[in-house]
Amino acid sequence: MDKRFLEECLTKGMSLPEIGRLTGKLPGSVSYWVRKHGLTANGRAKFSPARGHSPEDRENLAALVEEGLTLKEIASILGVAPGTVRNRIRAYGLEGTRASRRIERIRAARASGSNEVMLECPTHGLTAFWVGKQHARCKRCNTVAVAKRRRRVKEILVEEAGGSCVRCGFSDSLAALEFHHLDPKTKAFAISAQGVTKSIDSLRAEARKCVLLCANCHAMVEAGAADVPLR
């Protein structure tokens, strides 16, 4: 969404649900773009405990409830505490539908055999969620989490392996350092491909069968153009 357009809407005092109705987007998606552009929503002015119960408040809250967002997500969009959202949901008689839409979408996906459903993510807005047996998780959040864990695990293994290529001493780039199995017959799995699915203990055990090489030295060793120094 365009930053200037959002600024104009917010300057007019429009709430996120109102902007959503104007643009045809869900309030959560509008909230994502407001945060992305470094803007501040008008939720606090439109939804304040001091104002009492108003039709406008109920309309804004109902739109978010129907979307199936959690209390925390709704509170973030409206700029109030989760407890305030909970109290207003009860006061407006919206308790039965607070999470029903989200749950219904997840259940429908499972029933159809699909492992994907479109839901609101507090970080990425409306996006694809992976549907598991017990929960649903934002695919983009999961990708970020996997990348972080993979990097952290590699940092640990590289540090424990000496931190640099055993042939040339290269250590400037973590991504360019690779594990080379001294005896291919003992290789249980490729460390680079199992940075998430294996436990850290399993990865450490496998790393002990290897030496650390930079990508260039590794390529030469694999091609038979260079030898691995004895440890």
Per-residue pLDDT of 26-46, as tens digits, reads 777 787 788 888 888 775 444
48: pLDDT strictly greater than 50: no
Which tens digits make up the pLDDT trace of 150-176? 888 899 999 999 999 999 999 999 999
Residue in the block written with tokens 């009492």 = 52
**Two tokens, residue 63:** 């739109």
Average pLDDT, stretch 61-68? Answer: 72
pLDDT in tens, 97-155: 555 677 778 888 888 999 999 987 878 878 899 998 777 889 998 888 888 888 888 99
Q: Which of 1-15, 36-50, 81-95 has the lowest mean pLDDT?
A: 36-50
Going by C-beta distance under 8 Å and a sequence separation of 6 or more, which residues neighbour residue 27? 16, 17, 19, 20, 63, 64, 67, 69, 77
Residue 100, pLDDT score: 63
What is the longest distance spanned by two Cα atoms in the chain?
Answer: 79
Question: Packing angle between helix 27-36 and helix 16-23, nearest 10 degrees?
Answer: 110
Average pLDDT over residues 70-83: 79
What pLDDT does 99 receive? 57
Pairwise pLDDT comparison (76 vs 44), residue with the higher score:
76
Which DSSP state fits 60?
Answer: H
Which of 4-13, 21-30, 118-127, 200-209 is predicted least confidently? 21-30
pLDDT over 70 percentage in the chain: 87
| Residue matched to tokens 């505490």 | 81
User: Predicted confidence band at 56 (pLDDT cuts at 50, 70, 90)?
Assistant: low
Residue 165 has a CB neighbour count (10 Å cut-off) of: 22
Separation in Å, CA 25 to CA 18, 28, 91, 107: 10, 8, 26, 23
Pairing of strands 177-181, 125-131: unpaired
Q: How confident is the model at residue 88 (pLDDT cuts 50, 70, 90)?
A: confident
